Structure 1
Amino acid sequence: ESDFVYIEPGTFLMGSLPDEEDREVDEAIHRVTLTKGFRMSKFEVTQKQWVAVMGTNPSAFRENSLPVEMVSWDDVQAFIQKLSIESGISYRLPTEAQWEYAARAGSTSAYSFGANVNFLAENAWYETNSVMSPYAAGNTGSPRPVGTLKPNAWGLYDMAGNVWEWCQDWGAPYPSGEAVDPTGPANQINKNITRIGRGGSWYVPAAQCRAADRMTHDPAKSTPDLGFRLIHD
């Protein structure tokens, strides 16, 4: 439990401000209120944690302290179900809104620490600083052990970079106007918009590590730069 941080309920601006560099069209700014607090893991789920529950390691880059990757959204749901039964705690993925609220940690800037991309390497493993890794052959880059860089203001590590993180929601355009406890659409709205991933990864440029950046991914597919973290009540 010491690895979880309590995130207070609150209201925040979700999306990116109109003048934010690298802003994308799907980041319309809107006010979101989260009426319930939740506990979020300080770290991405590691390979050691995954193997302890599932018995196998699907990851492309193998090391106990690295984030698990090569896990689909569907795989993650199976892990959560098993872990919840074993532990007696109802774990789940964060909603997209919960994820961004926690990633921002009270900020409205491109990154939780501000807008200056020059500081990103102190906070995130991304395209620029993840290369020449001991885990990869040659100069291809890789994820790194969780929690090795600075946390955000709320004590959460690797919310930018390292691996993309699955969220619970189906992707959809943001609502216009205020939202309270949004969970995304009940069903997939079209075949091109799939489950949400957030935070960027070791493989992508800084722009995709911004707090507002959104990615959607087929829930049945996995990649070597996509993992997750857990929340519970």
Structure 2
Amino acid sequence: MGTTTPYIDLVGIPSGQVTLSDRRTERSWTVDLAPFRLGALPVTQEQYAQVTGDRPSAAQGSERLPVETVSWRDAVVFCNSLSRQEELTPFYGFDGQGEVVVSEPSADGYRLPTEAEWEYACRAGTGGPRYGALDDIAWYRGNSGERPHEPGGLLPNPWGLHDMLGNVWEWCWDLYDPEVYGTYRVLRGGGWFDEHWSCRASVRRRSHPTFRVDDVGFRVARSVTG
């Protein structure tokens, strides 16, 4: 395990409401959200190594690159490990079959954002498919050189969150569609290898919770408690 607790810059997100949609099922639904905090940047390779001792990423050259080649389950374990390092209450637990569950819904520890929280924070009060001109805010196939980049180098959204679109896809807590896809979890945001149409606030992707690939990472959230 790592011995140094990394600094995670969290941005306060106000309460509000967001409407999500799924093009495959042509379904939409509205979610009311309490205030929460979300990482200004995706978790980096350096931060991940400080917490876990592991360096799984395929991209090399800078420890400030976003961590990738991490599964949804890896991200959950990171959240719990960082919580313990900071003497916070872990948000997640494991049931008798080893499946991840929310064991402490009022915990002050780190967690993955819900899908609704992610889209609400990404939009940051804007109404279009993106919160700015794509080349100004996101690394995608058209400008990335087909590689990830250090987070924070492009313009943030109006709430100060960087790289919500492009660079790496980000794991969210939610099941995608359990009746059809079982345990598959939601991915959001688009990545460095994606075409422009994948880098939109509403785009949903899914994968198995143990899936690892070089354009998928995550950022952390914390509930506002007390």
TM-score (norm 1): 0.80
Q: Which residue of 2 aligns with 1:120?
A: 134
Q: Which residue of 1 aligns with 2:112?
A: 93
**Aligned with 1:42 (options 40, 43, 68):** 40
Contact map agreement 1:126 1:206 (CA 8 A) in 2: yes
Distance 1:194 1:82 in 2: 23
Map 1:1-233 onto structure 2 (within 5 A).
Answer: 3-15=9-21, 24-26=23-25, 28-34=27-33, 36-62=34-60, 63-89=62-88, 90-113=109-132, 119-131=133-145, 141-172=146-177, 188-191=178-181, 194-233=184-223
Contact map agreement 2:122 2:201 (CA 8 A) in 1: yes
Structure 1 residue 31: Cα displacement: 2.8
Distance 1:30 1:55 in 2: 40
Structure 1 residue 76: Cα displacement: 1.1
After TM superposition, where is structure 1 displaced by more than 3 Å over at least 4 residues in a row?
24-30, 190-193
Q: Which amino acid aligns with 2:10?
A: F
CA RMSD of aligned residues (A): 1.7
Q: Which residue of 1 aligns with 2:94?
A: none
Contact map agreement 1:47 1:68 (CA 8 A) in 2: yes
**Larger RCO: 1 or 2 (CA < 8 Å, sep 6+):** 1
- Structure 2 unaligned regions, length at least 5: 1-6, 89-108
Contact map agreement 2:115 2:172 (CA 8 A) in 1: yes
1:157-216: CA deviations, max 9, x gaps?
Answer: 0000000000001102xxxxxxxxxxxxxxx33346710000000010111110000000
Instruction: Tell me the SS of whatever aligns to 2:116.
Output: helix
Structure 1 residues 4, 27: closer, same or farther in 2, change over 3 A?
farther
Q: Which residue of 2 aligns with 1:175?
A: none
Distance 1:142 1:165 in 2: 16
Structure 1 residue 2: Cα displacement: 7.2
- Structure 1 unaligned regions, length at least 5: 17-23, 114-118, 132-140, 173-187
Q: Which amino acid aligns with 1:103?
A: C
Relative to its length, the structure with more strand (as a share) is 2
Contact map agreement 1:6 1:40 (CA 8 A) in 2: yes
Structure 1 residue 11: Cα displacement: 1.6
Identity of aligned residues (%): 41
Q: Which amino acid aligns with 2:24?
A: V
Distance 2:212 2:40 in 1: 23
TM-score (norm 2): 0.82
Distance 1:72 1:210 in 2: 22
